[in-house]
Amino acid sequence: MTGYERKEMISKFQKTTCDVKLIDFLRKYYKHEYSDFFVKEREEKTANNRYTITLLEKDISTKYSIDLYYITFEVLRLIIFYEHICMFLDNGNTENEEKNRKIKEIKDIYNFYKALISNKKFNLSKYSNAIKILNFPSLTQEDIDDENSSTKETLKDLIFENALTNFIGEYNNYL
């Protein structure tokens, strides 16, 4: 895929404002990666994007151990972007080195976000780079593990709104 085609694809991705458009986007650009969903849809004789979204939500929930409670349209978009679209740029260009550093940082933050919305307990030290980038030096494992604290929810919301969502538009300018 050329840089222009990639930029056009990202532009179309940014215009996915509902489930129907997201499924149409996946059909066009990621038909092989999500072929199982489209085959099931045909087998069930259900040309229904809601059916396909439900399959996608269950798959992502299982694959990343994310509670279905957290799987919203916006989170689906985010996961699709960071798992499939956001890639490192060619290393031959010195301008790309800085962009690749930023992409690495945002992917570290994304992985921390996935851990926050996961059903599983995780070791905070594994995400030390993301915590440093986000400037949360006083964050402790106890803050994350305390079920009576709202720290985990607050972090999840802050990261989603202030880092991950904003980077989608910025990434398109990198190409």
Q: Per-residue DSSP letters for 35-57?
A: HHHHHHHHHTT---HHHHHHHHH
Q: Which residue has the higher pLDDT, 175 or 152?
A: 152
Tens digits of residue pLDDT in 6-37: 888 998 998 899 988 898 899 899 988 888 88
pLDDT band at 46 (very low <50, low <70, confident <90, very high): low
Please name which of 2, 1, 32, 29 lies closest in space to residue 14, comparing C-alpha atoms. Answer: 29
Residue position matching structure tokens 């060619």: 90
Separation CA 161–CA 44 (nearest Å): 37
Q: How far apart are CA 78 and CA 86, in angstroms?
A: 10
Whether residue 118 sits in one domain with residue 72: no
The predicted model scores a pTM of: 0.89
Does 58 score more than 70 pLDDT? yes
Dist. CA 113–CA 68, nearest whole Å: 15
Tokens of 114: 């996935």
**Tens-digit pLDDT profile for residues 114-157:** 999 998 889 999 999 999 999 999 999 999 998 888 888 999 99
In which domain, by residue range, is 43 found? 1-85
Do both 126 and 62 map to the same domain? no
Q: pLDDT at position 141, please? A: 93
Q: pLDDT band at 45, cuts 50/70/90? A: low
Same domain, 50 and 66: yes
The answer to whether 36 touches 26, Cβ cutoff 8 Å, is: no
Q: How many domains does the chain have?
A: 2
